[in-house]
Structure 1
Amino acid sequence: MTASTPSAPSDISEAVPAALLGWYDCHARTLPWRAAPGAPAPDPYRVWLSEVMLQQTTVAAVKPYFEQFTARWPDIDALAAAPEADVMAAWAGLGYYSRARNLVRCAREVAALGGFPATEAELRKLPGLGAYTAAAVAAIAFDQRAVVVDANVERVVSRLFAIAEPLPGSRRKIGEFAGSITPQTRAGDFAQAMMDLGSGICTTREPKCLLCPLSSHCAGRASGNPSAFPVKSPKAVKPTRQGTAFWIERDDAVWLVTRQGSGMLGGMRSLPDDGWAAAGDGSGMPPMPGQWEAAGLVRHTFSHFALELSVQRLRSGAPGSAAHPMAGGEWWPIDQLADAGLPTLFAKAARLARL
């Protein structure tokens, strides 16, 4: 470590892990992918799957998906053998669908290797494993010392050391301070303890400092305003895009298309649309002539833009009585639409069209 690298004083570097792990031994959350404190490390497959699912998603939202995935695909070999379309459909509702495509790619690569590599550096080489996920799997599944920093850990470390530099510029400093308090042993438990502390005690608003095992070491609490940390840069205003989705119904079926494998919601089944994208509005033009009627408007927020999606509806004829509306689609029974794996945006549009 160079002289200019931030680090915790030696007493804090020793006291923080001891206090936090003692607290975690008594207060760890019980989660379906987690081993109890001090127990043998959990299956790397379950750790990896949970960490991919938890990106940009809450624990409460992930639990049912995790349980359904592991019931259907109980190990890496089963997931590697699964058709990508089935995995994408099972993922519907979790968002950030590129994660699901990378999930299949990674499963196949790991199965070919005969199992997950145990080091952070080797894990980074797998599809879809960035710095955070590789560190989390290395620490939690293999008890390797790795510095694991998610949003909860960012908040805890920012407050513990009263880091005044705003995010995202402070992330390097946060990582260095996090590294200075990460112990050599029980790395997985320490990482999960930091996550639990941020989730339940060191919360975004109104942190519960009186219950925090690190309060006596916390510079943010000593400042009198721990909620001021982490300091955040002003949010950029998200643009709002306009688009249209088309519900084409004949008898008891609706026409669904499969989106291109790359790009927004790639590889997912959806209603046809007018080509809206993050970069611009859709054309508003329907895919076929007919007596279209307005069904309403769906609003949805993506990471970089908001979308106002008008829903247009066309009902006539029977599936077998007319040519397909467009290439690359299929008639899907409306009473089985829940099995189509529509992403949240188009599931909202479908519900509106059926009213």
Structure 2
Amino acid sequence: MRDPAPVQDLLDWYDRNARRMPWRISPSDRSAGIRPAPYRIWLSEVMLQQTTVAAVKSYYEAFTSRWPTVTDLAAAEDADVMAAWAGLGYYARARNLLKCARAVAEDHAGVFPETREGLLSLPGIGPYTAAAVSAIAFDLPETVVDGNVERVMARLHDEHTPLPTAKPILTQMATALTPQDRPGDYAQAVMDLGATICTPRKPACGICPWRTACAAWEAGTAAELPKKLPKKRKPTRLGIAYLARRVDGAWLLERRPDKGLLGGMLGWPGSDWGETPQEDPPIRAEWREVPAEARHTFTHFHLRLTVKTALVPMDRAPLRGTFVESPDFSPTDLPTVMRKAYDLAKDA
């Protein structure tokens, strides 16, 4: 049987090569007794779900500048947080972010629980986030498994069971390696290894600290792993976005229902999204169709929006939605698909 991967080799590599991130405590600072703030680790982990580190950095810095503690975030207006989140996608995460912050502030005196079980009791925190905060913030030996870790484990053990079927197998492998000593640094080290060396394409096996322990490197199969089941083809849905501007420059906007896609976000009034969208203008007007469509891809489907615009008089009341005065309107507060519609309308 192959010897287990030497954890210390990976930690030594991490001590030299840890990525710099605004929420991360460096290995040298951690060894000096400096500990990360649980709030900042939690916030970064929620933002990083299905989003890249590069995309998250500016959002994280903006959030922590505006709401430096969990109690500050708990006291924020929902609309302000949703607007600050715009562009990160998966808006249910932003709603859960507020629910969790308020639960910590109200039920835990502003202090995050220090155990995985305690963290799991908070709204919006699932097994991955609970494990990540437990390990990274509190240095508990919890196993943190993201896409990078799955890839490293699949290659380390030359595991050919395809994802997502392989998830329990790869998690068990990761658990077997999680050390009692420096588990927070170890969790980040495995993720860094997957992000910088054991990459999806062209892994840099020649400089990997786990090369000699890696079964896939020995077998020559590293570039093939992890195996994945074929992806289902995404359907395409159609819709209409109505962009009405009053003669004084105010825009007609509508807040979407709390539940569902883009829940709680401000956006343009529109039709349902489906195979054959029905006309449903939010105000009586002469609507003009913009020649180009606003196209956007969500996790489970592609969306193609027909964009219609109209200029309306001051005394015209909308059937739904609210006019937002021009000084109070910022396209950056809109979710990405709504900004795409705006960009087409303003240039039309």
Runs of 4+ in 1 over 3 A off after TM superposition: 333-337
Counterpart residue number, 2:20: 30
| Structure 2 CA distance for aligned equivalents of residues 97 and 63 of structure 1 | 18
Equivalent residue letter for 1:282: P
- Following superposition, the deviation at residue 338 of structure 1 comes to 2.3
Matched, 1:173 2:166: no
1:269, 1:340 within 8 Å by CA — same for their partners in 2?
no
- Following superposition, the deviation at residue 222 of structure 1 comes to 1.3
| Structure 2 CA distance for aligned equivalents of residues 218 and 283 of structure 1 | 56
Counterpart residue number, 1:110: 104
| Structure 2 CA distance for aligned equivalents of residues 290 and 83 of structure 1 | 33
Identity of aligned residues (%): 49
1:89, 1:339 within 8 Å by CA — same for their partners in 2?
no
Matched, 1:100 2:94: yes
1:291, 1:314 within 8 Å by CA — same for their partners in 2?
yes
Counterpart residue number, 1:63: 57
Moved more, 56-65 or 216-225: 216-225
1:243, 1:273 within 8 Å by CA — same for their partners in 2?
yes
1:29, 1:196 within 8 Å by CA — same for their partners in 2?
yes
| Structure 2 CA distance for aligned equivalents of residues 22 and 148 of structure 1 | 19
| Structure 2 CA distance for aligned equivalents of residues 77 and 304 of structure 1 | 34
| Structure 2 CA distance for aligned equivalents of residues 170 and 102 of structure 1 | 28
Counterpart residue number, 1:261: 258
| Structure 2 CA distance for aligned equivalents of residues 348 and 333 of structure 1 | 20
Q: In the TM superposition, what are the counterparts of 1:284-299 in structure 2 within 5 Å?
A: 284-295=279-290, 296-299=292-295
- Following superposition, the deviation at residue 18 of structure 1 comes to 0.8
- Following superposition, the deviation at residue 258 of structure 1 comes to 0.5
In structure 2, the residue corresponding to 1:321 is in which secondary structure? coil
In structure 2, the residue corresponding to 1:203 is in which secondary structure? coil
- Following superposition, the deviation at residue 285 of structure 1 comes to 3.4
Matched, 1:186 2:182: yes
Counterpart residue number, 1:4: none
In structure 2, the residue corresponding to 1:12 is in which secondary structure? coil
- Following superposition, the deviation at residue 211 of structure 1 comes to 1.4
Q: Cα 1:288–1:172, aligned 2, differ >3 Å: closer, same or farther? A: same
Counterpart residue number, 1:54: 48
| Structure 1 CA distance for aligned equivalents of residues 277 and 98 of structure 2 | 31
| Structure 2 CA distance for aligned equivalents of residues 275 and 339 of structure 1 | 22
Deviation sequence 1:280-339 (CA, Å, 0-9, x none): 55323323443211112011111111111111111232xx3221x123x22224465326
| Structure 2 CA distance for aligned equivalents of residues 352 and 334 of structure 1 | 18
Equivalent residue letter for 1:45: Y
- Following superposition, the deviation at residue 121 of structure 1 comes to 1.3
2:9, 2:209 within 8 Å by CA — same for their partners in 1?
yes
Moved more, 218-227 or 332-341: 332-341
2:158, 2:221 within 8 Å by CA — same for their partners in 1?
no
| Structure 1 CA distance for aligned equivalents of residues 224 and 95 of structure 2 | 38
| Structure 2 CA distance for aligned equivalents of residues 334 and 154 of structure 1 | 48
| Structure 1 CA distance for aligned equivalents of residues 293 and 336 of structure 2 | 14
Q: Cα 1:342–1:188, aligned 2, differ >3 Å: closer, same or farther? A: same
Matched, 1:343 2:335: yes
Unaligned runs of 5+ in 2: none
Equivalent residue letter for 2:259: S
Counterpart residue number, 2:195: 199
Task: Quote the RMSD (CA, aligned, Å).
Answer: 1.5
| Structure 2 CA distance for aligned equivalents of residues 199 and 51 of structure 1 | 15
Counterpart residue number, 2:74: 80
Q: Cα 1:275–1:84, aligned 2, differ >3 Å: closer, same or farther? A: same
TM-score scaled by length of structure 2:
0.94
Counterpart residue number, 2:269: 272
Q: Cα 1:339–1:238, aligned 2, differ >3 Å: closer, same or farther? A: closer
Deviation sequence 1:223-278 (CA, Å, 0-9, x none): 2131111100000001000111010011212100001111111100000010116x
Equivalent residue letter for 1:37: P
Moved more, 164-173 or 214-223: 214-223
Matched, 1:314 2:305: no
| Structure 2 CA distance for aligned equivalents of residues 300 and 86 of structure 1 | 24
| Structure 2 CA distance for aligned equivalents of residues 223 and 205 of structure 1 | 17
| Structure 1 CA distance for aligned equivalents of residues 165 and 87 of structure 2 | 31
Equivalent residue letter for 2:279: G
1:276, 1:283 within 8 Å by CA — same for their partners in 2?
no
Matched, 1:158 2:154: yes
In structure 2, the residue corresponding to 1:299 is in which secondary structure? strand
Equivalent residue letter for 1:273: G
| Structure 2 CA distance for aligned equivalents of residues 143 and 246 of structure 1 | 51
Counterpart residue number, 2:296: 300
1:243, 1:284 within 8 Å by CA — same for their partners in 2?
no
In structure 1, the residue corresponding to 2:330 is in which secondary structure? helix
Deviation sequence 1:187-226 (CA, Å, 0-9, x none): 1101111111111111111111111111111111112131
Moved more, 334-343 or 141-150: 334-343
TM-score scaled by length of structure 1:
0.92
Unaligned runs of 5+ in 1: 1-7
